Chain A
Amino acid sequence: MIRAEGLHKAFGQKTVLRGVSFEVPKGQSLVVIGGSGTGKSVLLKCLLGLERADSGEVALAGLKNPTPHAVAPHIGMLFQGAALFDSLPVWQNVAFRLMRGTGRMGRVEARALAVEKLARVGLGPEVADLFPAELSGGMQKRVGLARAIAGDPPVLFFDEPTAGLDPIMSAVINALIRGIVTEMGATALTITHDMRTVRDVADRVAMLHEGRFHWQGPTAEAFSSDDPVLRQFTEGRTEGPIPTLR
């Protein structure tokens, strides 16, 4: 469902991805971990066609090296800061995709569906007419999640879904993601450095280190592995092979 083969990406002299290869089968949830600045977000943008890889191949929902426009009907994406459109009320943010393009919905139908999706992420109908600036960070994440699942896409992407949230709200968002992914039977790829998210959301874990997937495996093994790089990261130790000054 999601496949990358030999992805390379550099910005000027700085090489970020040095041949990333992986596959996420249908219905599975892969969480990509890695330190700040290791290229997790660049990897995600290459997969979505928002950045063009220098070399390598991406296959997503049956499309090879897709453009964002081509892949849009097949994916939902929760951005790190939610990336809600400030000028639109919450319900129009959620129904944004549904109200545009071929087969677009009317406003009444789209609003009803937006309210339904908001309920799925634990928000009441009274939130529908608020603007993003009137919401807390946790509520914005929920709205972003509702927007991501509005079209029932088969593939979901989550970029640092718990960044900036308190531990309780993080647990709520993680539980929502796990529940929604399971319920929809969706294929999911999450990037994070929150170990709680790894435990709650992942079927498999991959660690991005020095531009490559240094380690891949089932979630339980990620926390019992002897690999020194992985252990340092999962245990959050300052001593080890990963430099602390990056």
Chain B
Amino acid sequence: MNPVATLGATGRGLAGALGALGRFVGFTGQALGWMLRPPFHLREVAAQLVQIGWLSLPVVGMTALFTGAALALQIFAGSARYGAEFAVPSITAIGMVRELGPVLGGLMVAARVASSIAAEIGTMKVSEQLDALKTLAVEPMQFLTVPRLVAATLAMPVLVAVGDSIGILGGYAVGVTRLGFDGPTYLRNTLDFLEFWDIASGLVKGAVFGFLVALSGCYFGMNSGRGAQGVGEATKSAVVLASVLILASNYLLTEAFFSA
């Protein structure tokens, strides 16, 4: 292969990636700027709290329940090798509240919400509804993006808290019914072990993930291409970016919160 051509293609790819990153960062800055400018569309925020928060409860709850149950089984199997089965309640709890609750909850919300936001806004763009908003003196960033960002950032910590509780409940159910733990002892071990920051760090992660999910959905929706293919591409890209951002930011937040 011609090395000059390879170098050229690499350069173009890098320039394209940097351009895309710049546009995304620019969009984020714009969105944050619009968050501070009145009017504030509170009715829209309330509607999005229902869409993003309330309607995501079943999927987040189911995910947490099964994850907590499977986690308890795995920890039991692993800790049994060292005769440390007593650690199942505490490790299940810390695993749920610090990592699996926020990350899996975030990924499920990314699949449900980022796709929905990108498809909705993308369709609005294709059908000229965004232009219609502008001719009615309403800025789409302010009317569509800001309420979704605010609602997702507020709703996600609540979803994480609910998911954490249900996940711990799943571990408890497996612990008591399948692994032979005494119910009150399991609960006491869980509550005694957890510290405030274990829970709070997960909620902070949830808020960050919620913001990133809505941001990805809005960015790709606002920049959707024409037609069904354009909206489909925007939807797919929104879910992929939201998922990657959740996993990457989870690592960075974990480093920031827990590295010595």
Contacts and interface: CB of A to CB of B under 8 A. Distances in A.
Q: Do A and B bind each other?
A: yes
Interface residues of A, number: 23
Interface stretch (B12-20, B22-30, B76-84, B133-141): B133-141
A50 B129 contact: no
B137 A81 contact: no
Interface residues of B, number: 14
Interface string A22-50: 00000000000000000000000100111
Given A100-B39, A101-B39, A69 B134 contact: yes
B131 interface: yes
A72 B135 contact: yes
B132 A68 contact: no
A75 B127 contact: no
Contacts of A49: 134
B135 A48 contact: yes
B128 interface: yes
Contacts of A101: 39, 137
A97 B136 contact: yes
Interface in A54-91: 68-69, 72-73, 75, 77, 79-81, 83-87
Contacts of B137: 68-69, 72-73, 97, 100-101
A233 interface: no
B136 A83 contact: no
A83 B127 contact: yes
Contacts of A147: 136
B132 A79 contact: yes
A96 interface: yes
A118 to B, nearest CB: 17
B131 A79 contact: yes
A69 B139 contact: yes
A69 B138 CA distance: 7
B39 A83 contact: no
A49 B131 CA distance: 10
A83 B126 CA distance: 10
Nearest to B41: A100
Given A83-B127, A85-B129, A100-B138, 12 more contacts: A50-B135, A68-B134, A68-B137, A72-B136, A83-B129, A83-B131, A85-B124, A86-B129, A96-B138, A97-B136, A101-B39, A101-B137
6 contacts: A45-B131, A48-B131, A49-B134, A50-B134, A50-B135, A83-B127
Interface of A: 45, 48-50, 68-69, 72-73, 75, 77, 79-81, 83-87, 96-97, 100-101, 147
